[in-house]
Structure 1
Amino acid sequence: MRRTSPLRHKSTLCLERRVLILGFLLSALLLWQPLRSAAQSDSLLYAQIGQYAVGVQRLRIEGDPSRVLTGFLWYPAQADERLAYADYGYGKRSALARFEAPPERSGAPYPLIIFSHGYGSHAAQSVFLTEQLASHGFTVLAVNHNGSTRGDTDAQTSLTLGWYWRPRDVLSQIAWAEAVNADPQSAFYGLFDFARIGVSGHSYGGYTALAAAGAQLDFKALSAYCAQASRLDLACLARDAEPFLSQVLVRDAKRGTWRVPHDERVAAVLALAPFNAPIMGAQGLAAVNVPTFVMVGTADSVTPPERDAYPIYEQVGAAHKALLSLEGAEHMIFSDCIPLLATLPHCNDAVWEAARAQAIIKHFAMAFFSATLKGDSTARQVLNTPAVFEGLRYQSTFR
């Protein structure tokens, strides 16, 4: 029988030990990775429903005689199961908000957020977000922008007059809130905190939110862009707006831009797949100096991020800003896909499951407004931490 040398035997044992140790480490790593992913999936803290019951009220705002606005107010409410859940029409029913529930005053006054819908949409297009905000102690106003809603659209007119009227609608909503807030007979007396105002919007509403915070219009920048753009580029429909707008807007001689109606009290902007960076240009966007969060889908074919969201993030004058990109997501990822919108292309996203996308959107939106309007330090850490969730790209100047 051949005998194994002691040296070879010792070497073999060492190798076996190394293989066993390496195998153990690899097994531990493989076991750890799914746990880490699971922890990431469960860390959407701000996507959870907040501490408040939610009430909703239909609105009719008559601030401008020529432009009566209808819409909704969402707010923290007293729990009352006898009241019916909200039916927004459009085939959309709520499982969270109840119509005309009495306001919960224990936490008042609450920050005010204005939400602006996209072109061809309506005030209740993103109730997954507006109701969520109310459950966390925010009041939220949203109106139907006349001439820009489903069934009431004219692209040429809206993309001429809308650059002025949409931000004016935001001011009308703030004025309405001020009036009822000061009226002891109003159900909403003392409910709003006007030192903490945020504005959010989707698509054309993204422009509206930026404009309400001070963004200006730069038609020279738009003309320069359109000179090399496709004839089908929707951004260039706005070139015909300057003759009208020059009659109602004030010229900013220093910037060479047009000042749009805005409110200096707006303290935070959340722009969801915002429309038409070229009409604002670098100079017009630099006028936005409040915290700004931009979200977009990388496959957005309506407001391509290379034209809109990415330049907006880069060019706003805000010291604190963030950009969240959902890989492969289309334009309507930020809207509830309700029966009214079902005929729109891209309503049902081809890549993202709606529940997952909405949880991510709610998490970051809630963290943003909680950090900027409530001083929530935990929320600020969310904004300061690179997104670790699969399918996202994130960059931020929050510290």
Structure 2
Amino acid sequence: MKTVCNIAVAALLATAALMPLHAQEYYGDARPDAPELAARGKLAVGVRTLEIEHADQLDILRYSEAQPNPRYTRKLKLEIWYPAKLAAGQAEQTLYTDVLGAGANDPARPNTPFQFAGRAARDAAPLPAQQGYPLVIVSHGYPGSRLQMSYLTENLASKGYVVVAIDHAESTRADKAGFASTLLNRAQDDRFVIDTITAYSRAGSGHFLAGLADAGNTALLGYSMGGYGALNAAGAGVSAAAVSLAPGGKLASQQQGNPQYEAQRDPRIKAVVAFAPWGGGRGTVEVIDAAGLAGLRVPLLFIAGDQDDVAGYQNGVLRLYEGAVNAERYLLVYQNARHNVAPNPGPPAANAHPNDFMAYAEPAWDSRRINNINQHFVSAFLGVYLKGQSLQNYLDLAPLAVEGKWPGFLPRTAVGLAWQHRSPQ
């Protein structure tokens, strides 16, 4: 065990008994059977927490006929991971604080704080980059949190990305509110964060990100409703039928074909990773229909379980993948998995309530195994499409592994996985 050198590390070690893994192990560490690109990169990782405000936004949850245009300031908390230059004696160790539950006012499932260890140095100095590091925006599920996928955010930062995860207001486990807010605001939050990081990254901004992030080379990475928001921000407008899902027809601002929506198409978005994205269907309503999916033109990586009973698979994720006919796209399928193919393993505190436990767990899969596979494929995909790295062989795969092997996988370890790839029509 490394020498305790500051209060943060002392707190980390004091809570080691509460950690879901061995005290020297962190979420995202490679198991012996991890595929090749799951390994952590060569760069040290720093992490900082920021709060930003998006003024004069439509407060959809206060909409009424008497007050059709209520306004408010959306406050967004960001966690930012980045390549770092560690000071003498500084260690890549931190504690993250999150909560369990399904909203602030659910007596059957109250918010329960918990902490877990991270492999990143809090407030470390950034490691300069000549051209800036590609930017990855991470968007959680409904409800979720910015810390929901730390195994992946830390891993990507160690490979030379600036990774910014958002706590979407009214959509976290701490403050979950009406679904209309999530429908309306996800894509708008993503765009605002790109704008904010763009400003912070300009030379002379005085911000620690100055010269660090290349926001003109951005990927959106989202899980569940975060996946919906990423697709919506990248060009998949919602259908006319879906507009009724938010009061007053206000979701028309995100509707395919609406000039207001089309004007928001952002050339800085170069790729999308969508974990179990919602939006394929809601009952008889196709939230994103064929016309909306045709608006996607950036490379896409979909990751899903074929037993997903939240976003759906056949009429959900698979339909989204097949319908994105103008995009280079890939689909990784965890056979017999349900919806939880993206988050960290559940913390010990989640064991106290079956719904909290099932918010993280996959009945047929080990979460750490899923985490490693996600690290591998996301690293390959972003390496190809954001960095131009020679990693295409990790994406040119047979639909099923021959004798359980794909490039980068040990023999017999790719079982239970399926793969699809389609080029633009």
Quote the residue 1:142 is aligned against.
165
Please state how far the C-alpha of 1:42 moved relative to its aligned partner. 5.6
1:239 is displaced (CA, Å) by: 3.9
**2:81 aligned with 1:74, yes or no?**
yes
SS of residue in 2 equivalent to 1:152: coil
Please identify, of 79-88 and 346-355, the stretch whose mean Cα deviation from structure 2 is larger.
79-88
Supply the distance in 1 between the matched residues of 2:310 and 2:175 (Cα, whole angstroms): 19
Tell whether the 8 Å contact from 2:139 to 2:222 is kept in structure 1 after alignment: yes
Aligned to 1:113, which of 128, 136, 158?
136
Contact 1:289/1:318 (8 A) holds in 2: yes
Distance across 2 between alignment mates of 1:191 and 1:180: 9
Are the equivalent residues in 1 in contact too, given 2:129–2:212 (CA < 8 A)? no
For residues 367 and 274 of structure 1, the distance between their equivalents in structure 2, rounded to whole angstroms, comes to 20
Counterpart of 1:181 in structure 2 is 201
Aligned residue among 62, 65, 77 for 2:53? 62
Separation of aligned partners in 1, 2:97 and 2:375: 23
Partner of 1:243: 248
Match of 1:390 in 2: 415
- 2-structure distance, mates of 1:197, 1:358: 22
SS at match of 2:146: coil
Q: TM-score if structure 1 supplies the norm length?
A: 0.78
Match for 1:200: what amino acid?
L
Q: CA deviation at 1:122?
A: 0.6
Q: 1:98 to 1:371 in 2, by over 3 A?
A: same
Gap change, CA 1:111 and 1:189, over 3 Å in 2: same
Structure 1 runs of 4+ with >4 Å offset: 246-251, 257-262
Asked if the contact 2:139–2:226 (Cα under 8 Å) also holds between the matched residues in 1, the reply is: yes
The answer to whether the Cα contact below 8 Å between 1:49 and 1:136 also exists between their aligned partners in 2 is yes
Find the residue that maps to 2:128 and give its secondary structure. Answer: coil
What is the CA distance between 1:273 and its match in structure 2?
0.4
Of 320, 331, 342, the residue aligned with 1:334 is: 342
Residue 149 of structure 1, CA deviation:
0.7
Query: How far did residue 107 of structure 1 move?
Result: 5.5
Q: Which runs of 5+ in 2 are unaligned?
A: 1-31, 57-72, 99-113, 281-285, 402-413
Scaled by the length of structure 2, the TM-score of the pair is 0.74
* CA shift for structure 1 position 289: 0.5
CA deviations over 1:81-134 (Å, ceiling 9, x no partner) = 425722220234334211111111146500001000000111110001111110
Tell me, in whole angstroms, the C-alpha distance in 2 between the residues paired with 1:43 and 1:250. 41
Structure 1 residues without counterparts, runs of 5 or longer = 1-40, 223-237
The aligned counterpart of 1:275 is 278
Moved more, 317-326 or 131-140: 317-326
Q: Distance in 2 between matches of 1:289 and 1:203?
A: 20
Q: 2:381 aligns with which of 363, 368, 371?
A: 368
1:168-191 Cα deviation digits (max 9, x unpaired): 111111111112112522221101
Deviations along 1:26-80, one digit per CA (max 9) or x if unpaired, are xxxxxxxxxxxxxxx8672210000111111101112325111112011111134
Are residues 219 and 260 of structure 1, via their aligned partners in 2, closer, same or farther at CA, if it must alter by over 3 Å? farther
Q: Percent identity?
A: 30
Q: In the alignment, residue 241 of structure 1 is paired with which amino acid?
A: A
Letter in 2 for 1:336: N
Q: Residue 112 of structure 1 aligns to a residue in which SS?
A: strand
Q: Indicate the residue corresponding to 2:22 in structure 1.
A: none
Q: Residue 268 of structure 1 aligns to which amino acid in structure 2? A: A
Alignment of 1:194 onto 2:215: yes
The count of aligned residue pairs is 337
1:49 matched to 2:40: yes
Contact persistence 1:291–1:318 (CA under 8 A): no
Contact persistence 2:239–2:255 (CA under 8 A): no
**In the alignment, is the contact (CA less than 8 A) between 1:56 and 1:72 conserved in 2?**
yes
Match of 1:131 in 2: 154
- Return the offset for 1:294: 0.3
CA positional deviation for 1:332: 1.6
- Secondary structure of the equivalent of 1:337? coil
Does the CA contact (< 8 Å) of 2:90 and 2:121 recur in 1? no
Q: Do the aligned partners of 1:218 and 1:258 also contact (CA within 8 Å) in 2?
A: no
Aligned residues of 1:211 and 1:260 also touching (Cα < 8 A): no
Task: Output the CA distance in 2 between the equivalents of 1:288 and 1:203.
Answer: 18
Worse-matched range after superposition: 197-206 or 340-349: 340-349
Q: Is the CA contact (8 Å cut-off) linking 1:271 and 1:293 kept in structure 2?
A: yes
Distance 1:249 1:311, change over 3 A: closer
Question: In terms of Rg, which structure is larger?
Answer: 1
Higher deviation after alignment, 77-86 or 211-220: 77-86
- Contact 1:167–1:261 (CA under 8 A) maintained in structure 2: no
* Kept after mapping to 1: 8 A contact 2:47/2:121: yes
Secondary structure at the counterpart of residue 89 of structure 1: strand
Distance, in Å, in 2 between the alignment partners of 1:43 and 1:333 is 16
CA distance in 2, matches of 1:296, 1:142: 20
CA contact (8 A) 2:37 2:377 kept: yes
Amino acid at match of 2:120: A
Give SS of 2:358's match: coil
Q: Cα–Cα, structure 1 residues 314 and 341, in superposed 2: closer, same or farther, change >3 Å?
A: farther
Offset of residue 321 of structure 1: 0.6
Q: Does the aligned pair in 2 maintain the 1:384–1:397 contact within 8 Å? A: no
Whole-Å Cα distance in 2 between the matches of residues 55 and 320 of structure 1?
Answer: 33
Q: 1:285·1:315 contact (CA, 8 Å) conserved in 2?
A: yes
Match of residue 298 from structure 1: 306
Residues 265-303 of structure 1 deviation map (CA, whole Å, 9 limit, x = unaligned)? 201000000002220111111101100010001122211
Q: AA paired with 2:210?
A: Y
